[in-house]
Amino acid sequence: MPAHTGSAPAVSLQGRAATGRYAYRAKAPRPEASDHAEHAKLAYALGVHRQLLSHAQSAIRTLTAARNELIAQAIEDGLTIATVSAVTGENMKSVRTIALAYDDLHPGGVPRSAHVAALKQKSEELRAAEQHRHRITERREALIVMALRNQVCDDLELASLTGLTPDHIRRSTRGIARPA
In a domain, 18, yes or no: no
Q: What is the pLDDT of residues 33-82, one digit of tens each?
A: 557 888 889 989 998 999 999 999 999 999 999 999 999 999 999 899 99
pLDDT of residue 28: 47
Cβ neighbours of residue 21 under 8 Å, at least 6 residues apart?
none
In a domain, 20, yes or no: no
In a domain, 156, yes or no: yes
Buried b (16+ CB within 10 A) or exposed e, 28-58: eeeeeeeeeebbeebbebbeebbebbeebee
Low-confidence ranges of the chain (pLDDT < 50): 11-13, 28, 30-31
Q: What percent of the residues of the chain are helix, what percent strand, and what percent coil, each to the nearest 5?
A: 65, 0, 35
In a domain, 27, yes or no: no
In a domain, 177, yes or no: no
In a domain, 132, yes or no: yes
Full domain range(s) for residue 109: 41-172
Number of domains in the chain: 1
Which pTM value belongs to this model? 0.72
